[in-house]
Structure 1
């Protein structure tokens, strides 16, 4: 069955083709440049074996090599075809965005991942046995990033300062593109957003009269948090 995007182009001859925007224009590629890069592929296959690069190379290595070859080309070094080598490394870096996205080890990306906040966690009061979610900043973690199992907190249900047990993380790291649910604090009335996956887990964990009992990240108090209505 032939795929059909519904976006047709009619030529002067009267013939029609599916020419959906976004497919790319293969007829506009720099074929002389591609033929040069293919020679680098041939030499690499002889040196390292065919499809060696398909196994995946950390992105920093490809970028390092591309930058080094480009610098050598720019200062006039001609001991090898440095421009061709730079293009080869950049093309494979581009290719790996689809084939090996997990090998993107650029420093800024690693730093961003490290700075992401831990997910909200579920804890249980050992006095009243009520469970409720709290922000990760409220809990303590050891040097390995593992949650400490027990901690004394003031329970918002029984109002006692009792030992709380760590139950587990409510979600994994939130997707930065994930939709945020608009909520407000019942104490300070601050409005803020919580990733939808976190909010759904918090509601599943504990809910009281349509509100979620949690610690507000703005005022730092245990209070009821509710979704913001359109007219609020």
Structure 2
């Protein structure tokens, strides 16, 4: 698993309850679907994938083991349950959702490696880790980190995590890239959107897509929003515009631990 295998814009599925949304997303060109045990959307993702004419091997499927199931036996058990809900024999990315509660790097990560070695998971992902926690994981894991998923939007920019991703050659997967519906309330983003006759949401996605080592997974349900998020890849911001967003100093973390 490396950055070339993750498209610039994938689909976050938290809150999606209709398999037809997944099927439509795949028809429109999405090739990265992100779910999690705690989202309750694995069945929806699996049904949408099964309905689609897009070959399974063309789609990166990612799920996450929740914080209460990170003891080795629970990792194995709940991953099997996730695969059953997804209707799959394997996932391409299996994440540690948060390094809290039952997480113990010396016990949790070897269990993930067992699943990777067995072909159940293509790569081991981490989510919501600090730099120190990433370094501990790197010391335990035999294989490189496949991806690190974190909250990243104009109001919350964890630059230390981006630096680490670039230094160690894995993609940073940005969730909540539209600031949970607040993109239009960000003055800098709104002004840049007006200059391009674009939406604030498109500006947020274009800003992230222009960053080295960053991919993003906005959630959308309607065909119009699904299409618009993909189209944002084609919006080009100039360096000054990107720097204007980079310089926003607010730190509004929407999903703290």
Query: Structure 2 length as normaliser, TM-score?
Result: 0.22
- In proportion to residue count, which structure has more strand? 1
Q: Report the structure number with the largest CA radius of gyration.
A: 1
Answer 1 or 2: which has greater helix percent: 2
